[in-house]
Amino acid sequence: MSELPSRLSVVTLGARDLPRLRRFYRGLGWEEIPSSDDEWAGFLLGGVLLALYPVDELAAEAAADIPSPTEWSGITLACNVDSREQVDAAFADAMAAGATSIADPVERTWGGRSAYIADPEGNRWEIAWASSARFDARGALTAFGN
């Protein structure tokens, strides 16, 4: 059995103007998680977190291998795991399954641990642990940043 659970926890949009994008989603009536601000924002949407993160910072983490930012969509998918140590094990499983390493597991400035991989078509996945992520019995994200 793989250490990488079959769950989609987070969809991150690389924001060129994060305050504007944040206002847009709030304008839809979507409720932000309490830790949101103009540097990072999140909206819990039916078990998946929609995250807004500055595109240049996201590119530095998830697309450092792409020479021109216009060659990258600015979107990453994430699978949050249950422990800091599981990031490394899930990363190893993904590599064994044929993923391309984008960024090895590291401690992040936001307080968690994560790694980035690309699937065979170049789609970027973050394998992450965040202490504030909470899941229900099905693996659906129920809280983040609280």
The whole-number pLDDT of residue 49 equals 94
Mean pLDDT rounded to a whole number for the chain = 89
Side-chain half-sphere exposure of 36, counting CA atoms within 13 A: 21
Q: Which amino acid would we find at residue 81?
A: V
- Give the C-alpha separation, 66 to 36, whole Å: 28
The whole-number pLDDT of residue 36 equals 95
Average of per-residue pLDDT across 111-124: 89
Architecture per CATH, domain 10-143, reads as: Roll (3.10)
* Whether this model's pTM surpasses 0.75: no
Instruction: Report pLDDT digits (tens) over 32-90.
Output: 999 999 999 999 988 899 999 998 899 888 888 877 766 777 789 899 999 999 999 99
Residue 104 sits at φ, ψ, to 5 deg, of: -60, 160
List CB contacts of 45: < 8 A, sequence separation 6 or more: 30
